[in-house]
């Protein structure tokens, strides 16, 4: 009996030390992989900085475009130049992508207006997380390379110091940035094999036809809800700077609040506060029109066919091909009078 007891205790000790060793090895691997990712991604953005943003336009393209579309990946899948051209005759350049948030878009516009011209219209896709996100550091390294000198405010990147105990998994914490880097890398490789196209172009991208499953309509017993991050949050001051410039340049601005899948809409439960905050900010300007489609009364938030992804407990969803088609028609109908009035004054 004594021998059995000691053997049992010895086995438990071995298992305990194996678990501790496994955790240590996991942490070391995770931190090493994180450091390697940072070095590779920063090197990539430094070397490709003159090719991965829409700031190398030809003369005919500069004369062609009269509209800019800005925002995150949600805007990329929601507002499409092809529909704006078809229904309103607008010639839009879309720069919306994952990781391009307020700071990035302010910087882009600062360069665009100086290097090219002031657009007539600007569409900005507004997200619930607008004040909760930092612009992707790699993309900021990329775009800041266009400045010979720093612009009128301090745009230097404040890189966070590496803190090995800030999170159990640094790779998990950086998942969004890793996904962005992989997409940018693949996009860069694809461009290396495409011959330079001549003349002005309207992007033919109008989303993906894949829709989410109907079972995601079922409300779970418990899910994590997301509070609205109040203005100014992390980058709100750059929204002010962007809107100030746009008003000074007499650009008509359409702030488009993009629809969420119903599970995401309920996860982001402070929708009223979100809407009121955007309205409050826009009241300071005479050139802004808010287009809010994020409510069950205005858009089919429970129609799974209209969304590519989204779920309860997830604070982000994207429109599908079908949802984007409906949204763009709604946008064009709502601003048709404004555009036609402008054309009549020419």
Arithmetic mean of pLDDT over the chain: 84
- d(CA 106, CA 240) in angstroms, rounded, equals 9
In this predicted structure, the answer to whether residue 46 has a pLDDT above a threshold of 90 is: no
Lowest-confidence segment of 22-26, 135-139, 328-332 by average pLDDT: 22-26
Give strand ranges (E) for the chain: 67-70, 92-94, 121-126, 252-257, 288-292
Neighbour tally for 53: CB within 10 Å = 21
Q: Answer yes or no: is pLDDT of 159 > 50.
A: no
Residue 51 has pLDDT above 50, yes or no: no
pLDDT at 163: 56
Band of residue 154 on the pLDDT scale cut at 50, 70, 90: very low
Q: How many residues does the chain have?
A: 346
CB–CB of 293/335 below 8 Å?
no
Is the pLDDT reported for residue 239 higher than 50?
yes
Tell me the per-residue pLDDT of 73-132, one tens digit each, with 9 for 90 and over: 999 999 999 999 999 999 999 999 888 999 999 999 999 999 999 999 999 999 999 999
pLDDT at 155: 47
Statement: residue 277 has pLDDT above 60:
yes
Of 202 and 83, which is predicted with more confidence? 83
Residues 282-310 pLDDT 10s: 999 999 999 999 999 999 999 999 999 99
Give every strand in the sheet of 92-94, ordered side by side: 92-94, 67-70, 121-126, 252-257, 288-292
What structural domains does the chain harbor? 48-156+169-344 (3.40.50.1110)
Higher pLDDT, 24 or 217: 217
Q: Find, among 270, 256, 279, 265, the residue nearest to 316 by Cα.
A: 265
Residue pLDDT, tens place only, 257-268:
999 999 999 999
């Amino acid at each position: 009996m004594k021998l059995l007891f000691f053997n049992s205790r010895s086995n438990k000790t071995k298992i305990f030390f194996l678990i501790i060793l496994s955790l240590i090895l996991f942490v070391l691997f995770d931190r090493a992989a994180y450091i390697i990712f940072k070095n590779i991604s920063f090197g990539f953005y430094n070397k490709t900085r003159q090719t991965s943003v829409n700031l190398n336009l030809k003369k005919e393209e500069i004369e062609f475009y009269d509209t800019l579309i800005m925002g995150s990946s949600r805007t990329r899948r929601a507002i499409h130049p092809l529909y704006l051209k078809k229904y309103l005759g607008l010639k839009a350049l879309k720069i919306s992508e994952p990781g391009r948030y307020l700071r990035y878009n302010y910087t882009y516009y600062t360069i665009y207006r100086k290097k090219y011209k002031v657009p007539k219209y600007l569409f900005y896709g507004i997200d619930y997380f607008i004040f909760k996100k930092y612009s992707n550091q790699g993309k900021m390294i990329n775009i800041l390379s266009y400045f010979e000198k720093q612009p009128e405010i301090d745009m230097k990147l404040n890189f966070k110091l590496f803190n090995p105990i800030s999170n159990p998994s640094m790779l998990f914490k950086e998942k969004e940035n890793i996904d962005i880097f992989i997409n940018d890398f693949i996009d860069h490789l694809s461009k290396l094999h495409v011959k330079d196209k001549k003349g002005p172009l309207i992007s033919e991208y109008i989303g993906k036809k894949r829709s989410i499953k109907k079972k995601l309509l079922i409300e779970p017993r418990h899910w994590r809800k997301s509070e609205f991050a109040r203005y100014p949050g992390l980058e709100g001051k750059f929204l002010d700077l962007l809107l100030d410039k746009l008003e000074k340049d007499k650009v008509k601005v359409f702030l488009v609040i993009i629809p969420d899948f119903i599970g995401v809409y309920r996860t982001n439960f402070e929708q009223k506060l979100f809407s009121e905050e955007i309205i409050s900010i826009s009241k300071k300007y005479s050139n802004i029109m808010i287009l809010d489609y994020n409510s069950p009364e205005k858009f089919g938030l429970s129609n799974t066919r209209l969304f590519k992804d989204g779920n309860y407990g997830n604070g982000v969803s994207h429109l599908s091909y079908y949802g984007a088609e409906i949204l763009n028609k709604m946008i064009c109908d709502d601003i048709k009078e404004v555009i036609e009035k402008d054309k009549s004054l020419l």
